[in-house]
Amino acid sequence: MALIVQKYGGSSVADAASILRVARRIVETVAAGNQVVVVVSAMGDTTDDLIDLAQQVSAAPAPREYDMLLTSGERISMALLAMAIHDLGFEGRSFTGSQAGLITDSQHGAARIVEVTPVRVQEALADGAIPIIAGFQGFSRETKDITTLGRGGSDTTAVALAVALAADMCEIYTDVDGVFSADPRLVPAARQLPRLEYEEMLEFAAAGAKVLHLRCVEYARRAALALFVRSSFSQHPGTAITSRARMEEEGHAMEQPIIAGVAVDLSDAKVTITSVPDEPGRAAAIFEALAGADVNIDMIVQNVSAKTTGRTDVTFTCPTGSVATARAALESSRDRIGFDELLHDEHIAKVSLIGAGMKQHPGVSATFFSALAHAGVNVELISTSEIRISVVTRAETAQQAAQAVHTAFGLDASGEAVVYAGSGR
């Protein structure tokens, strides 16, 4: 008997018919002799709708109340799913994140899990019930308040529970047949990937492929948890996220392609600080100011300083939602930094190429940049890691760039990828 944590995303439980379909899948897994713990997201676009609603009543919603509001989405789906399971002759027992023992720090909107004590989940399993846990939420012991883990955080709830329960595997059910070589909504010729190394998946998630929450991949890697991405709309085996060592053991390492795929991120903006004195301490002043305001920085570029003035421009990217905070933080350190102007641009995209094989294979950058050049895509910033190359381009050219790079690396599949549901919102 295996213990399986199954997470169903918003598009898998978007309406009553979908909830009934998911209930049947869960019950089938239990009937086959497994113990199943379920994590659910809010139905369809509920979380986005709640955000829209909050913005209609408040320009800057109070963080505590915002989390209280958003966590209600998952409570609806967990209770409905439990009811549907009852009607199939099994006991579904729903729990909020707090009841399931997901203890977080107190940072509303981006809380981190500090402890998981799933006592009630274990009791439910011992009683032969199917525990259904609301994803994306936790409880802070410090403030005694309800928190959320950040958008897409239900994946992390599922992995955290799987690790705490020492589950045999964690399955993330979504609206596509696994992880693809690119977002199938942007690149229809995207190819389904049977397996990926944790490191590649981490880069994919960090580069904007929202199919998995970044923190869930980190969590799974640390615990060497067997993680699968599957569709709740098909019986496709999906994508296994695993370690290099396990791939080698299973004899799959040799077949791994050099390049796993391409990711596009439209959620960042670019900020340029002009005419900063090129001397020790100025970069520290910039990034200390930003860190003090909790602004997450991604790429950083410093131009060569102009010989005549000894001054330079510094550019960085951060989430679009943090631009106002970043600007205010930099303004308040204007004297320490000594800049001339602050400019920002929200119409950018980050296009990334990911593949563990690029470490050993020369020529990858040449193919990447010549594909962009042929597609007429202008590169504004570049950053790399051992297994990723990212560029910033105009947002309007991102899809074109992703498709060109995908083709240049021979990743195009012969057919079109299937997207079963979801609005892609």
Q: Residues interacting with ligand ADP, by CB under 6 A?
A: 9-12, 41, 152, 174-176, 179-180, 182-183, 185, 204, 209-211, 261, 419, 422, 424
Residue-by-residue DSSP string for 96-162: -TTTTTEEE-S-TTS--EEEE--HHHHHHHHTT-EEEEETTEEEETTT--EEE--TTTHHHHHHHHH
The nearest distance, CB 41 to ligand ASP, in angstroms, is: 3
Is the Cβ of residue 23 or residue 326 nearer to ligand ADP in the bound state?
23
Distance CA 144, CA 141 (A): 5
Question: How many chain residues are in contact with ligand ASP, going by CB under 6 A?
Answer: 12
- Of Mg ion, ligand ADP, ligand ASP, none, which one does residue 151 interact with (CB within 5 to 8 Å by kind)? ligand ASP
Which span sits near ligand ASP by CB under 6 A: 145-153, 162-170, 224-232, 415-423?
145-153
416 φψ region: left (φ > 0), alpha (ψ -120 to 50), beta (else): beta
Residue 97 contacts ligand ASP per CB under 6 A? no
- Of ligand ASP, ligand ADP, Mg ion, none, which one does residue 183 interact with (CB within 5 to 8 Å by kind)? ligand ADP
Among 5, 10, 11, 263, indicate the residue that binds ligand ASP (CB under 6 A).
Answer: 10
Q: Contacts with ligand ASP in 304-363 (CB under 6 A)?
A: none
CA gyration radius, the chain: 23
The nearest distance, CB 368 to ligand ADP, in angstroms, is: 17
Is the Cβ of residue 410 or residue 424 nearer to Mg ion in the bound state?
424
Secondary structure E strands in 127-267: 130-134, 137-140, 146-148, 169-174, 195-197, 227-231, 239-242, 261-265
Among 29, 41, 317, 393, indicate the residue that binds ligand ASP (CB under 6 A).
Answer: 41
Is the Cβ of residue 118 or residue 152 nearer to Mg ion in the bound state?
152
Residue 147 contacts ligand ASP per CB under 6 A? no
| 227: number of Cβ within 10 Å | 28
Element (H, E) at 383: strand 381-385
Element (H, E) at 400: helix 398-408
